[in-house]
Amino acid sequence: MLVLLAFIILFHITSAALLFIATIDNAWWVGEEFFADIWRVCVNNTNCTEIDDSIQEFSTVQAVQATMILSTILCCIAFLIFVLQLFRLKQGERFVLTSIIQLMSCLCVMIAASIYTDRREDIHKNNSRLYALTSDGSYGYSFILAWVAFAFTFISGLMYLILRKRK
């Protein structure tokens, strides 16, 4: 049982780390001479421009930013609630509250990555001044980590739903 508990805790911490990296790091869309994310666009690794309300489709970028931040916060809250429930739940009860919050985190990261997947081309076309050199890029590792974090938080949420507290 102790090994299972250690695995679940490690799995949850890995999920949170993936969410932090995907949210913070600057590699959602990358190419030879540029990299872009949900916070800024950098050309030649030195010329960085922050994404602000002067660009078109800014509300779309804000939605991605907000849901990624919310997902990270919910994942951390779920971990704290899990630790509290370890000491407060009676024997045989399930970690339902932790599961619900973790599945909400999963939903948020899925929404963020889906919005970015769907709207990325429109954001780049409508802001050709900012994204002029980014047409020949591809999805970067932060974007991929966001989808991996989606899978991890989903599996983690299901594990908490199935898991019962034992002695």
pLDDT confidence of 51, banded at 50, 70, 90?
confident
* Measured distance CA(98)–CA(87) in Å, rounded: 13
Closest listed residue to residue 129, CA positions, set 55, 38, 31: 55
End-to-end CA distance of the chain: 9
- Tell me 90's DSSP state: P
* Sheet of strand 34-36, all strands in order from the earlier edge strand to the far edge: 47-50, 40-43, 34-36, 29-30, 138-139
Using the structure block, give the residue that is written with the tokens 């010329």: 47
1-165 placed in CATH 3.40.50.720: no
Residue 154 pLDDT: 96
pLDDT tens-digit series, residues 1-38: 678 888 999 999 999 999 999 999 888 888 888 888 88
Condensed to tens digits (0 to 9), the pLDDT of residues 98-148 reads 999 999 999 999 999 999 999 888 888 888 777 777 778 889 999 999 999
Cα separation, 110 vs 123, whole angstroms: 19
3-class secondary-structure state, position 47: strand
Nearest to 36 by CA among 149, 147, 131, 145: 131
Mean pLDDT for 92-101 is 86
| pLDDT recorded at residue 151 | 96
Q: What pLDDT sits at residue 137?
A: 83
**Alpha-carbon torsion (102, 103, 108, 110), positive or negative:** positive
Provide the whole-model pTM.
0.89
